[in-house]
Structure 1
């Protein structure tokens, strides 16, 4: 049974070299489950592990930046989204995150591939966080640089690059999905892409799509 990892960051900017990080969600998944009688569903949001960061500490200690336009974007979001990204006493320092994420990787099944939505953002930020603590080899022991994969390209390729909406609803009922899915939440973003990969695999195997 092959296990893969998927990650997604929420950040305070778009510059992978210096943006402050709000949180990262990660989920280990396996492809056999996708074609089983017990496929992934919305209930698997509970399998997404979220690590939330102390943004102020990143700015003060590392000089990482809060982009004004990105901050304005977050301030325009719903009350729920703003509440989720607001500072909390439980927010992690970068060093604590690296320790906890390393433990997460150690405890997880062996990961063959690790996925993100575009490989020029999330993997580079994760590497920067580990590099800042001189722990990049610890990350690379579990997440090989040659094993990173991109969900956006995978999905586009499956549709011959003619798909109008790469982030399609991965279930039978689009309206129901739109009412349940939580935008700008890293955990929901990774679960959505796992469900999209599953939707493609199940269609290729003439299997019924999940219901929401």
Structure 2
């Protein structure tokens, strides 16, 4: 089983993350930010990656540190669970429709973190999650997971739908990319021999 647990503690947050890349989409997420919990639940459910995230953060200030550090810790856990990345498909993509909204996610588990972000929101927050923190979460996750990640909002105007479509698309693309390729289960998917 490709599993990992990460504990991250700073003066701003204390976070415990457990992932199982070969799970069934089980989740138990408690960040103190309801909308972020909802998005992490979607990430787990639609990737079939078990995810447990517990955060004690400085929410008396705002949700910035909690959201950023959750992204970092989840990314660290993904990288740890992937190990040498032997046998993975490596690439993943998803078109994610949700009512009037359509987003596209494409990613490469390359070891070269990068985020290209082409999505905007027209409200400042969804629940208590500041919408600007959604891009920041994706950036933090990609950075620590070592993923090249392209995010595009193709169309949509309901901000809840946009956010949910983005997380579901990330989930589906991750599901594809972390799966073991039965044709090359013993090889690292790179001509360099390492990712």
The two structures have a TM-score, normalised by structure 1, of: 0.26
Query: Which one has the largest radius of gyration?
Result: 1
The two structures have a TM-score, normalised by structure 2, of: 0.28
- The answer to which structure has the higher strand fraction is 2
